């Protein structure tokens, strides 16, 4: 009995010794920096379809991590890069992302500091910045950090190399436009125009402008264009009919006299390709029908370009028109020709806001016309009355042009 009691006493006091002695050996690996060479296999947590980001799959392949054993923390349980990094570190492997995170300085004040791009990307990807480890200066979170946390590989940065830039073909220099330089002698036409324009400086003039709605005129032109009617002939006919009511606008100045013209000849300016200006004349424009005027105008323009007009066909105008509407100009003034009493400058027709007859805002097309007059024989009220009646004809009685 004494021996048996002694044996029992020895076994009870010696049993704890082995567990106490083995404790340092078990804790040593956690305190050591050496990787675990033989760790217990991780439990399988994904038995069905594995959903992982492309970057997470790439990291798993590089670090030998089985995605079946990785618990996803992304949206709807998706496996993202940080999940693979955690699994790789836990298995003793060293993931590139883990090395970068370990090398990056971390903040100790608890503040979240992120670049504007990182904030924008985090909002787009639904990532909380609190869960992202910053690798920027002083632990600042960058857009690349957020993309990695979202399981997306950051776009590689393009580094311009001197070799590639040197090998790239240089852009061909733009061919220089050859501009004329030096003194060029005028042709006969240009000399005549310059002389006449200088002579007009001695004439006292004034100008009046008027806005004319062109809705009715445009409709008539669209209706008659297929029959050969030109817009120039329509305008010439309208001016000629209005001049019948205002003969002073068809007159010219002579020393101590006003010269009235019994005929209404509308001269319309035509620019020459080689410089200069010619004014072919539509004779008796008030009495000629619209279709005859259109045929005459087409013939005059053709022979103007061929320089085959007779002096009577370009020097017998009693009223002048300069039309730049085809160029879309808003408004312009024309220079009064020598010996003329008036010249009408016609600009382009454009949509403009106006007040309709019902008092409501309305949008209609209008053209601005400016008339230049010899103030020695024509006065402002007379010019204004002429423009008012011309507008009335084109806006309300445009059908009279077909009579």
Enzyme catalytic residues: 375
For residue 384, give every residue at least 6 positions away whose Cβ sits within 8 Å of its Cβ, in sequence order, or none.
208, 210
Q: 277-278 and 257-259: which strand pairing?
A: unpaired
Biggest distance spanned by C-alpha atoms of the chain: 167
The two tokens of residue 255 are 């020393």
Instruction: Confirm if 259 and 252 have CB atoms less than 8 A apart.
Output: yes
Residue 397 DSSP label: -
Paired with 368 in beta bridges are: 211
Instruction: Confirm if 283 and 297 have CB atoms less than 8 A apart.
Output: no
DSSP-based three-state secondary structure for 110: coil
Locus of tokens 């956690």: 30
16, containing H or E segment: helix 16-31
CA–CA separation, 98 and 73 (whole Å): 17
Paired with 271 in beta bridges are: 277
CA–CA separation, 15 and 204 (whole Å): 132
How many CB atoms are closer than 10 A to CB 222? 9
What secondary structure, in 3-state letters, does 142-209 show? Answer: CHHHHHHHCCCCCCCCCCCCHHHHHHCCCCCCCCCCCCCCCCCCCCHHHHHHHHHHHHHHHCCEEEEE
What sign does the dihedral 138-142-144-146 (CA atoms) show?
Answer: positive
212, containing H or E segment: strand 205-213
């Amino acid at each position: 009995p004494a021996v048996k009691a002694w044996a029992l006493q020895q076994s009870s006091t010696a049993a704890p010794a082995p567990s106490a002695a083995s404790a340092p050996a078990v804790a040593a690996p956690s305190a050591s920096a050496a990787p675990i060479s033989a760790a217990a296999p991780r439990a399988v947590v994904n038995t069905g379809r594995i959903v992982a980001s492309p970057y997470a799959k790439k990291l798993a392949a590089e670090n030998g991590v089985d995605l079946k054993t990785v618990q996803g923390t992304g949206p709807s349980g998706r496996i993202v890069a940080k999940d693979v990094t955690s699994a790789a570190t836990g298995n003793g492997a060293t993931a590139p992302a883990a090395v970068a995170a370990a090398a990056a300085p971390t903040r100790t004040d608890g503040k979240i500091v992120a670049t504007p791009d990182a904030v924008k990307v985090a909002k787009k990807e639904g990532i909380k910045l609190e869960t992202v480890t910053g690798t920027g200066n002083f632990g600042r979170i960058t857009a690349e950090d957020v993309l990695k946390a979202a399981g997306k590989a950051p776009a590689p940065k393009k580094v311009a190399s001197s070799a590639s830039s040197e090998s790239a073909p240089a852009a061909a220099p733009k061919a220089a436009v050859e501009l004329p330089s030096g003194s060029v002698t005028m042709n006969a036409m240009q000399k005549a125009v310059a002389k006449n324009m200088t002579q007009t400086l001695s004439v006292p003039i004034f100008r009046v402008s008027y806005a004319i709605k062109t809705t009715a005129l445009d409709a008539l032109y669209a209706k008659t264009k297929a029959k050969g009617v030109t817009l120039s002939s329509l305008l010439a006919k309208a001016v000629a009919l209005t001049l019948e009511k205002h003969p002073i606008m068809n007159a010219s100045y002579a020393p101590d006299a006003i010269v009235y013209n019994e005929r209404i000849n509308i001269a319309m300016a035509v620019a020459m390709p080689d410089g200069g200006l010619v004014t072919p004349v539509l004779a008796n424009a008030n009495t000629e029908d619209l279709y005859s005027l259109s045929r005459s105008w087409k013939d005059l323009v053709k022979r103007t370009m061929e320089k085959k007009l007779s002096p009577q066909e370009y020097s017998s105008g009693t009223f002048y028109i300069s039309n730049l509407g085809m160029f879309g100009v808003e408004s312009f003034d024309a220079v009064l020709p020598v010996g003329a009493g008036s010249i009408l400058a016609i600009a382009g027709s454009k949509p403009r806001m106006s007040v309709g007859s019902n008092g409501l805002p309305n949008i209609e097309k209008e053209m601005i016309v400016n008339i230049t007059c010899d103030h020695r024989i024509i006065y402002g009220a007379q010019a204004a009355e002429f423009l008012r009646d011309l507008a009335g004809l084109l806006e309300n009685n445009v059908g009279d042009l077909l009579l």
